[in-house]
Amino acid sequence: MFLDASVIVAIVAREADAVALATRADIAEHKFTSPVAVYEAVLGLARARGMPISAAEDAVDQYLTRANAQIIPITPEIGRAAIRAFDRYGRGRHPAQLNMGDCFAYACARALGMPLLFKGDDFSQTDIAVA
């Protein structure tokens, strides 16, 4: 499965749904994320918890290591797929209102042929497989 930044933040920040999300993530044999999702998660965690970027980065890295999640590279093909995702599901174009990070998560999950684990209802309005 591909881990969206929203899930990483929720688990690391121990939000109300953290245990349920972590349980769903733990079930997956293979877990992936991307540098874009890591960037979003670090900044989101730092903002939500009022912590220094370096501390948020350490916390995200520790979770990804414990979860045995692999960070995949953003290839040119994934970049193009993210553009197509925005064209189809992006803000101002579709009710899903995907932002840049969402479009990359969508593109990565599609490239891997994996379901996407996320928080919220934006991706559920797309054709992505839900984890």
List pLDDT tens digits, range 63-88: 999 999 999 999 999 999 999 999 99
Q: What is the share, in percent, of the chain residues with pLDDT greater than 70?
A: 100
Q: Which fold has domain 2-121?
A: Rossmann fold (3.40.50)
Give the tens place of pLDDT for each residue, 15-29: 999 999 999 999 999
Question: Once rounded to an integer, what is the mean pLDDT over residues 91-103?
Answer: 93
Q: What is the mean pLDDT of residues 89-117?
A: 95
Mapping DSSP onto H, E and C, the string for the chain reads CEECHHHHHHHHCCCCCHHHHHHHHHHCCCEEECHHHHHHHHHHHHHHHCCCHHHHHHHHHHHHHHCCEEECCCCHHHHHHHHHHHHHHECCCCCCCECHHHHHHHHHHHHHCCCEECCCCCHHHCCCCEC
pLDDT of residue 53: 98
